[in-house]
Structure 1
Amino acid sequence: MTTTTVTEREIREAVTMKEAIDAVRDGFIDLAGGMFEMPTRIALNDGQFLVMATRHRPTSSAMIKTLSVNFRRTPAITGIVVWSEAGRPDQLVADAGPVTALRTGAVVGVATDLLAAPQADRLTLIGAGGQAPDQVRAVHAVRPLRRLTVVDTDPRRARTLLQTLETELAGVDLDTATDADHAVSEADIVCCATPATQPLFQASALPARVHVNAIGAFRPTMRELPDDLLADSRVVIDELDAVLQESGEIIHALEAGAITQDSLAELGHALTGPPVPHGGRTVFKTVGVATQDWAVARLLADKFLH
């Protein structure tokens, strides 16, 4: 038996955002088809420690990820991803930080490609932390951007993010802002990537036609979106059991009577169902599921295990 360890640099060099988006899209289609055995993740100390696992039945492969999450340190997310297959003894161990950022970006790319207007090219990103760069990369991969506005409570962090991305976003109009309501009012796509516990903006501030991705809140005590936005939008989620247990936005809106479970569409089923009509407001809410990590880990296994 051999164990291959993959570093952050190797992950970034081996997997492009387009590859990750395609792999995660295929993973959610398989999830909708019942091809994964996937328990809801274990959360300890209100999400400070997370354990996620899944098995892909057709390939008899499995992924287990353990995370430590602390937004007061850098990096906020640390841990490992372990890939194994029943058919061979070799396994792969990867740095969970970049895998998590890549797969979270990738699922936003999948959802944005499905739900955002074809001509959408103005992105407002709220939050300039560790997940932010891959949110931008993923949206840009499926909807080439004309304008990017980054909103953060720390303007220096927003400017640093833009400096990090400026080479990749050559020709894109780059700006920062501190007023979220104003920044989202001129957006075609909004990405929320914060540890917020209260809504980041008012629903009334959004255009009538806009797509919103929310990835930051992954515990019932966290919340980025207002109830009336969810009530007024087509809402797609990653997986029903996961959001009912972990998404503060979905739990709060259900308890307030703003939405019903029947109004929530899982991403895998939306991908395989009738074409989604473009128009009005759409929301994609994800807390993150193990299928995404499996999809990226499979790409790494294909490249590093021989």
Structure 2
Amino acid sequence: MKFWNENDIQAIYHMSDAINDIETLFTNMNAITQTQRMVISTGTGAKSMLYMPCIHKDKQIGIIKITSITPENPQLGLPTTQANIIITDIKTGKHLASLDASYLTRLRTGALSGIAPKYMSNSNSQSLGMIGTGGMAYEQFLGNIEVRNIQNVYLYNRSRDKAEHFKRQLQQAHPNLDITVTNNVQTLVQKSDIINCQTQSTSPVFEAKDIQDGTHINGIGSYRPDMKEMDNQLFPRASHVVFDDIEGVKEEAGEFIEPHEKGIFKFEEIDGDLKSIVSKKQLLRQSCEAITIFKCVGAAHFDLAVAIGAYEKLNKTPQS
């Protein structure tokens, strides 16, 4: 079995690769078999273990991703989310490789946050608002700037110091961007063409009344029934709602489960999953004033796409 760490993968596999590999996978979903991911709570709050298996019958490759989420880790100098992917040859049963999947997880989630606005946001969107500047934020940023000509970035985090640190990281890598840290999430919401939420909040991180016409929202952080990033009063205003994985959202996304139960929103009202939107190869929105929403909870086939993509590139890369 081969072992590749995060630095190995980051050196050869990038956001453009991840977006391309996920969109390519969408064209051959008949070859994919997966089960619903298993989430086991290991403590209070978001602390948990996640297990996500999936196989690609055409490529004769299977994966399982094992993820730990430990919110108190930053106090110990450790990452909140850690993951590994085991790649298996399903013809022989041989385990081919172990890939550090922390970066791949961030990358595939960022790729989804890029693919959604590629087809759902206004094509002239230039301002990005990011609510939450933790470990997932940088790849969320990369996904959005890969598909839209972003000029202005607004950052909000409960800890301003954390937002300022993230701003310095972005400015160092992208000096031409105008980046603003704000203490007022209302300001961010009102100025952003695209809003990206990546928090583990159990209550909405913005108010629906502040969303401007023409805004696209990516909801990324919440993945359990008790978590809610988006104000459910937003959904009746939305022209289009799309999920990455419909069954996963019904099981895990608290911000949609609650309004469905209350009759504010119905799952039957969505415009499909991301695969169906990508297959049309055109903007989903019908007008510049439309409000569009993408909700992501994650699914194993997205991990499969990037794991196979990275594995194939790593195998072609000469070892130093």
Q: TM-score range by the shorter chain?
A: over 0.9
Are 2:130 and 2:197, in contact at CA under 8 Å, matched by a contact in 1? yes
Structure 1 residue 96: deviation in Å?
2.0
Are 1:29 and 1:271, in contact at CA under 8 Å, matched by a contact in 2? no
Are 2:156 and 2:182, in contact at CA under 8 Å, matched by a contact in 1? yes
Partner of 2:25: 27
Structure 1 residue 86: deviation in Å?
2.9
In 2: Cα distance, 1:110 partner to 1:29 partner: 14
What amino acid is aligned across from residue 292 of structure 1 in structure 2? F
Structure 1 residue 200: deviation in Å?
0.7
Q: What's the secondary structure of 1:62's corresponding residue?
A: strand
Partner of 2:159: 154
Assess, with a 3 A threshold, how the Cα gap between structure 1 residues 282 and 209 changes in structure 2: closer, same or farther. Answer: same
Q: Would you say how many aligned residue pairs link Structure 1 and Structure 2?
A: 302
Partner of 2:10: 12
Within 5 Å, give how 1:96-175 maps onto structure 2. Answer: 96-175=101-180
Q: Is 2:189 the partner of 1:191?
A: no
Partner of 2:33: 37
**1:11-35, CA deviations, whole angstroms, 9 ceiling, x for partnerless residues?**
111111111111122223433xx33
Q: What's the secondary structure of 1:12's corresponding residue?
A: helix
Are 2:156 and 2:181, in contact at CA under 8 Å, matched by a contact in 1? yes
Partner of 2:81: 77
Are 2:155 and 2:163, in contact at CA under 8 Å, matched by a contact in 1? yes
In 2: Cα distance, 1:281 partner to 1:58 partner: 38
In 2: Cα distance, 1:107 partner to 1:121 partner: 19
Within 5 Å, give how 1:228-247 maps onto structure 2. Answer: 228-233=233-238, 234-247=240-253
Partner of 1:49: 49
Are 2:128 and 2:193, in contact at CA under 8 Å, matched by a contact in 1? yes
Q: Is 2:182 the partner of 1:177?
A: yes
CA RMSD for the aligned pairs?
A: 1.6
What amino acid is aligned across from residue 65 of structure 1 in structure 2? K
Partner of 2:294: 284
Q: What's the secondary structure of 2:225's corresponding residue?
A: coil
**1:171-210, CA deviations, whole angstroms, 9 ceiling, x for partnerless residues?**
1101101211221101100000001001111111011111
Bigger shift: residues 97-106 or 255-264: 255-264
In 1: Cα distance, 2:23 partner to 2:68 partner: 26
Partner of 2:254: 248
Structure 1 residue 214: deviation in Å?
0.7
In 2: Cα distance, 1:169 partner to 1:20 partner: 20
**1:22-67, CA deviations, whole angstroms, 9 ceiling, x for partnerless residues?**
1122223433xx3311111011117601000111122221110011
Extract unaligned runs of 5+ from structure 2: none
| Identical positions, percent | 25
Bigger shift: residues 230-239 or 43-52: 43-52
Assess, with a 3 A threshold, how the Cα gap between structure 1 residues 274 and 5 changes in structure 2: closer, same or farther. Answer: closer
What amino acid is aligned across from residue 262 of structure 1 in structure 2? E
Are 2:285 and 2:292, in contact at CA under 8 Å, matched by a contact in 1? no
Bigger shift: residues 198-207 or 52-61: 52-61
Are 2:18 and 2:108, in contact at CA under 8 Å, matched by a contact in 1? yes
Q: What's the secondary structure of 1:58's corresponding residue?
A: coil
Structure 1 residue 82: deviation in Å?
1.0
Partner of 1:302: 312
In 1: Cα distance, 2:27 partner to 2:203 partner: 32
Extract unaligned runs of 5+ from structure 1: none
Structure 1 residue 87: deviation in Å?
4.7
TM-score, with structure 1 as normaliser: 0.94
Bigger shift: residues 105-114 or 166-175: 166-175
TM-score, with structure 2 as normaliser: 0.90
In 2: Cα distance, 1:136 partner to 1:70 partner: 23
